[in-house]
Amino acid sequence: MNLIQLFDLSLMGRSAKPALEFAGISYTFGELESRSNRMAQALAARGLTKGDRLGIYLPNCVEYVDLYLACLKLGVIALPINILYRERELTHILNDASPRLLVNQEDLPALSRAAETMPAERPNVFVSGDDPAAIIYTSGTTGVAKGAVLTHNNFAANAMNIIIAWQLSSEDRLLLSLPLFHAHGLGNGLHSWLIAGYQTRLLERFESSRAEAEFLDYKPTVFFGVPTMYVRLMSCDPAISQTVRLFVCGSAPLPAQLLMDFRERFGSTILERYGMTETLMIASNPLVGERRAGTVGLPLPGISAKVVDGEVYIKGPNVFASYWGREEATRAAFTDGWFRSGDIGMLSDDGYLTLAGRKSDLIISSGFNIYPREIEEFLLEQPEISEVSVAAQSDPVKGEVPVAYLVLRTECDLKEIEQRCRAALASFKVPKAFVKVDALPRNALGKVQKHLLPKT
């Protein structure tokens, strides 16, 4: 069974029910079905067929939903791209995945007009559960972005797990501000919504200045967020939680103190869970039972987790099929059928999983993954810089932020270096600080010892 056949529980089975609110306009499930059918016809008219890739470089909007559903109906592989990425990052992904078409904000109006003229009939294309649904790019420990190929079955297993574990139903109301280009917003938000059939208000992005008003106006029962969002919500009126039965947090570690502070202010214990782009959801604290601070809970149904030499290994129907076009990287990611997560963790005697960090130098800032080598390589392209090391610094709002330590070849204006980074890199990758040092601390083998870098 493919995703669309699961979504038909809502697209057809609840066709008259309100499904989505975006920018003050409401849509029923039936309207989403018709819109996405027309979009699929428009994409087919542009030559897209099963197996082609469609790049989606858009912020959250109803057309994003149309495009994604159209891909699934055609057997086209969706290629969500982080809207914060700039030319350097876009070029790599487009060269790697070779999409037949890229839809951005400039091209969308013409495509939408074309779709409006198309018949609202669903394309007749056979798509199996083993077919790829999306390629979502993540970064490996070397800093080279790799596309994780996620099948219909991967996404379906994930959605069914969280629907059952979190008791999501057609009576719920989701406030969704997570980006749909991210596995969290797409795999958890969009998929569970379309299967369970609840109503969703989609926001273009999370805005702390508007968060309180959105909660009080929409009165959600469920909210999915990242730790940074919960830090921002701490300044809101406690009344925002009156209708919310479930606050879920993931994509970055939730500080235990934040969980306790949030519970004290709002009377609700955040449910922390654990997932990755390559695996979607792995573990979750229970809906009914102990939500243990500092842990990511228990492996979800059908998913096995073990710790080997300190590293968390995963096996289950949620685990991705491969890295796009990278057979060697795919083989290296598995040992005897177990996916090597790269996360350091431990399992308690009663099965709760606690994470202690990454084997690599991964920095997680506001839920976004940042690999230092990518930033280091760009900085080393600057003629004034001889050596560089990028390391994480704790941040009370974002969790972590990158800091760049520079050994200069010639004197330069660090503000100018920052501006070059802003022009070439996504905003969340730009170092928070640039620190000049005489030399980088290295061990006998020449490896930089990041723990010896000066604190800022």
Q: What is the pLDDT of residues 149-188, one digit of tens each?
A: 999 999 999 999 999 999 999 999 999 999 999 999 999 9
Answer whether residue 293 shows pLDDT above 80. Answer: yes
Percent of the chain beyond pLDDT 90?
A: 87
391 contacts 362 by C-beta, under 8 angstroms: no
Reading the block at residue 356, the tokens are 């202690």
More confident residue, 456 or 77: 77
For 213, residues 6+ apart whose C-beta sits below 8 A from its C-beta are: none
Amino acid at position 382, single letter: Q
Distance CA 36, CA 121 (A): 9
pLDDT at site 360:
74
Q: Which of 79, 282, 96 is nearest to 186 (CA)?
A: 79
- Report yes or no on whether pTM surpasses 0.75: yes
Reading the block at residue 400, the tokens are 């972590």
Q: Which CATH number fits domain 363-452: 3.20.20.450, 3.10.20.30, 3.40.50.620, 3.30.300.30?
A: 3.30.300.30
207 — phi, psi (to 5°)?
A: -125, 115
Per residue in 301-330, pLDDT tens?
Answer: 999 999 999 899 999 999 999 999 999 999
Answer whether residue 241 shows pLDDT above 60. Answer: yes
Answer whether residue 353 shows pLDDT above 90. Answer: yes
Answer whether residue 265 shows pLDDT above 90. Answer: yes
Taking residues 411-432, what's their average pLDDT? 96
Could you tell me where in the chain the CATH 3.40.50.12780 domains are found? Answer: 3-357
Answer whether residue 267 shows pLDDT above 70. Answer: yes
More confident residue, 253 or 121: 121
More confident residue, 456 or 25: 25
Answer whether residue 257 shows pLDDT above 90. Answer: no
pLDDT at site 309:
92
Q: Are strands 433-436 and 246-249 parallel, antiparallel or unpaired?
A: unpaired
pLDDT at site 140:
43
Taking residues 220-248, what's their average pLDDT? 96
Taking residues 284-305, what's their average pLDDT? 97
Taking residues 369-379, what's their average pLDDT? 88
* pLDDT band, very low/low/confident/very high, at 445 (cuts 50, 70, 90): very low
Could you tell me where in the chain the CATH 3.30.300.30 domains are found? Answer: 363-452
321 contacts 132 by C-beta, under 8 angstroms: yes
More confident residue, 133 or 85: 133
Place domain 3-357 in its CATH homologous superfamily. ANL, N-terminal domain (3.40.50.12780)
Distance CA 118, CA 86 (A): 33
Q: Give me the chain's average pLDDT, please.
A: 94
Q: Are strands 53-56 and 101-103 parallel, antiparallel or unpaired?
A: parallel
pLDDT at site 443:
63
Per residue in 70-103, pLDDT tens?
Answer: 999 999 999 999 998 999 889 999 999 999 999 9
pLDDT at site 143:
58
Distance CA 100, CA 275 (A): 30
Distance CA 400, CA 392 (A): 6
Nearest 5°: the CA angle 68, 70, 76 is: 85
Distance CA 138, CA 399 (A): 19
Answer whether residue 387 shows pLDDT above 70. Answer: yes
Taking residues 274-290, what's their average pLDDT? 97
* pLDDT band, very low/low/confident/very high, at 139 (cuts 50, 70, 90): low
